[in-house]
Amino acid sequence: MTRKFFGTDGIRGTVGTAPITPDFVLRLGYAAGKVLAREGKTAARRTVLIGKDTRISGYMLESALEAGLCAAGVDVLLVGPMPTPAVAYLTRALRLSAGIVISASHNPYDDNGIKFFSGAGTKLPDTVETAIETELARPLQCSLSAKLGKVRRIDDAAGRYIEFCKSTFPAQLDLKGLKVVVDSAHGATYHIASHVFHELGADVIAIGNQPDGLNINAECGATHPKTLQEAVKRERADLGIALDGDGDRLLMVDAKAEVYDGDQLLYVIASHRMRQRQKLRGGVVGTLMTNLGTEHALTRLKIPFARANVGDRYVLEMMQQRGWVLGGENSGHIISLDHHTTGDGLVSALQVLGALRAEQVSLAKAAAEVKLYPQLLVNVRTSRKIDLNADRGIQQAVAKATTALGANGRVLLRASGTEPVIRVMVEGKSRPHVTAWAETIAASVRKAAQ
């Protein structure tokens, strides 16, 4: 069955426009509840945890989800604003049926979305998402009063997650003497991130920690590192850490205000594990967007590397297929399966900091072997679906660029799984050539979209 609502990362869109409306989310909660009730073996297992980021629409959607789940006879635990990876952790730790996050991640405040975790703290299998869509097509029929779900709030959720994050940092190390700026993007980590690093000994300057429902990801966080760079320079800090609105992405900045993306940070973690003889269980999974410079640096260390489709769920799938424990995306999603079931910005930051402290090196030195190729990503917004493989103009532009760039360059076109956008990526040794070809291919996509 072709899924109508679920994309690569749940269901996402503009608030007030289908499907992100109160009536749809009510029906989604009911449909998910009915499916999860069938999946659960006992009544005690039919409990779902709901977390959200700091968007103003989260209140409305939380209430709708809560009502739908209760109507289906499923109990609900509420944790309020909580990072996406925290919901995954708490769902698993509390032995629940599922976890739900109300978030549009790095998108602006007027978008929102719903994403699910299984009882094991992983993304729902395609079969379960398909079953929920099938249930959505059926009428909503409220359970009998005696079988309605109940709701209660977990007041210590943040503290539990903070302790979990700290437990992933090497017990023999600390962060004493380190001055760190932490940018929470006015998002779900605003009341958590600074505590994690401070309790490990760091001197923390917190920014992006004043959410008002409208400022999430607004010129801050992992999608806008300039704010962090300026703060690191102003505070004369040793490092900067930027998270996105729901806390699963990470970027870092060194003392000179240089930005390090997910590719470079993944290399720092992998190379340290190899030198310390920690288990890599084979190698590292990246994506089609992973920079060639990272792949070449890993190859020089004889660390196997494989590319998955773009999206953390596809990275995770390939990691599980190969039995590997480390993978990630250049956007800053990094997965360490020996610590967590999903990408976690805080856990990933602690993995990098652990490597730096253990080897007593700077971030710049730890990542020095990664010589990133110039890479340009152009997002072309479209109002209709385009068959990228069938459009002659697009294919001609791609063929010309591929020939011109040669063996040390790449062209990648893909439709976003979360936005009405075609992403055009061009990578090569010469920045002017990369820019020119990216603009040429993007122009051909815009023409096809007319």
Catalytic positions, written as ranges: 105
Alpha-carbon separation of residue 362 from 91, 149, 178, 336 (angstroms):
36, 52, 11, 22
Q: Are 239 and 175 in contact (CB under 8 A)?
A: no
Residue 307 pairs in a beta bridge with 286
Query: Which tokens belong to 343?
Result: 């990408």
Q: How many helices (H) and strands (E) does the chain have?
A: 14, 18
The residues, ordered by sequence, that sit 6+ positions from 193 with a Cβ below 8 Å of its Cβ are 182, 184, 206, 209, 241, 243, 247, 346
What does the DSSP 8-state code read for residue 325?
A: -
The Cα angle at residue 120 between residues 134 and 10, in degrees rounded to 5? 40
CB-CB neighbours of 47 under 10 Å: 23
Q: Are 64 and 114 in contact (CB under 8 A)?
A: no
Alpha-carbon separation of residue 379 from 113, 218, 383 (angstroms):
20, 18, 13
Burial per residue of 398-435, b for 16 or more beta-carbon CB atoms within 10 angstroms, e otherwise: beebeeebeeebbbbbbebbbbeebbbbbbbeeeebbe
Pairing label, strands 179-183, 111-118:
unpaired
Alpha-carbon separation of residue 2 from 38, 129, 133 (angstroms):
22, 11, 10
Q: Is 318 helix (H, G, I), strand (E, B) or coil?
A: helix
Strands (E) across 275-336 are located at: 284-287, 305-308, 326-328, 334-336
Only one residue has tokens 């990542």, namely: 367
Q: Is 113 helix (H, G, I), strand (E, B) or coil?
A: strand
Residue 374, φ and ψ in degrees, nearest 5: -55, 130
Identify which of 50, 51, 101, 102 has the alpha carbon closest to the alpha carbon of residue 74.
Answer: 50
Q: Which DSSP string corresponds to 314-333?
A: HHHHHHHHHT--EEE-TTS-
Q: Are 422 and 438 in contact (CB under 8 A)?
A: no
Q: Are 232 and 203 in contact (CB under 8 A)?
A: no
